[in-house]
Structure 1
Amino acid sequence: MKIVYKVLAYLVAVEVAVQAAVMVYGDAGLGKWVAQGGVLDKTVMESEASPFPEVIGLIAHGINGMMVIPVIALLLLISSFFARVPGAVKAAGLVLLLVAVQVTLGLFGHDIPALGALHGLNALLLFSTALYAARRDRSVGVPAQAEPRLGTTG
């Protein structure tokens, strides 16, 4: 169960990196589309047509952030109870809390754009916390090796 815990924690960190990548991909595509004369208004946003190819990045960001990452974070918390890793429950709980904050900031950021800055900062905090959670037990997946001690011969 230690390996499951570790994999899920690293997966949260990877998903946060994916979130950044797909969001910037979508934003860059939007910028290019507008520079070529495209207009983003309510009609375009409510239509089911794809105005530019990179819009898939914006869609992926929404689906990944609203569904995939919260499920992984919840599975991480559940696995932390069985992993027998010191501090795992606390670290996984913090990851889940930061995911909840991230989703909330993302949702309210549409009405209060200044929350977008907090959304970005919280993403960095979530990424770091997920890595911290993954590295709680350094012995998982690492074979034991004898380390030389200072002052000993041999």
Structure 2
Amino acid sequence: MRTVYKVLAYVVAAEVVIQAMAMVFAVAGLGKWVEDGGVLDQSVMESEDSVFPEVVGFVIHGMNGMMVIPAVALILLVVSFFAKFPGAVKWAGLVLLLVALQITLGLLGHEIPALGALHGLNALLLFSAAVYSARRVPPTAGAAATGSEARIRASA
């Protein structure tokens, strides 16, 4: 279960990276579309048409952030109860809490734009917490020693 925990924590971190990539892709596409003469107004916002192909970045960001990442973070918390190492539940809980905060900031950012900045900052905190959660998983008892651990055991 430790390996599953580690993989899930890294998946959360990778998903945060995908979120950033999707947003930059969409915003850059929007910028290019406007530079090429496109006009972003209420009719475009309410339209069902994709006026520029990079709009898929907004869709990916929304679906990933509202469905995929919360599901992975919740599964990480469940797995943490079986991983049986100190801090597993605490760090998985923090990851889930940061995901919930991220969703809240993302939704409220549509009404209060300053919260969009906190949405970006929280993304960095979430990424860091997920990576830290994965890196603090101790090796399993039967795992072969590598690197400096192997040299220490060999010299003993």
- AA of the residue aligned to 2:145: A
Structure 1 length normalisation: TM-score? Answer: 0.93
Q: What SS does the corresponding residue of 1:48 show, helix, strand or coil?
A: coil
The alpha carbon displacement at 1:122 in A equals 0.3
Structure 2 length normalisation: TM-score? Answer: 0.92
Once the two structures are superposed, what CA deviation does each residue of 1:44-90 show, in whole Å capped at 9, x if it has no partner?
11111001000000110011001100000000000000011210000
- Alpha carbons 1:76, 1:92 under 8 Å: kept: yes
Q: Does 1:148 align with 2:140?
A: no
More moved, 34-43 vs 73-82? 34-43
Higher helix share: 2
TM superposition outliers: structure 1 runs of 4+ over 3 Å:
none
* Number of equivalent positions: 152
Residue 126 of structure 1 corresponds to which residue in structure 2? 126
Structure 2, unaligned runs of 5 or more: none
More moved, 89-98 vs 134-143? 134-143
The alpha carbon displacement at 1:142 in A equals 5.5
Residue 10 of structure 2 corresponds to which residue in structure 1? 10
Once the two structures are superposed, what CA deviation does each residue of 1:27-57 show, in whole Å capped at 9, x if it has no partner?
0000000111111112111111001000000
Partner Cα separation in structure 1 for residue 136 and residue 75 of structure 2: 17
Alignment RMSD (CA, Å): 1.8
Within a 5 Å distance, the mapping from 1:1-40 to structure 2 comes to: 1-40=1-40
The alpha carbon displacement at 1:135 in A equals 1.1
Residue 117 of structure 1 corresponds to which residue in structure 2? 117
Q: Does 1:55 align with 2:59?
A: no
Structure 1, unaligned runs of 5 or more: none
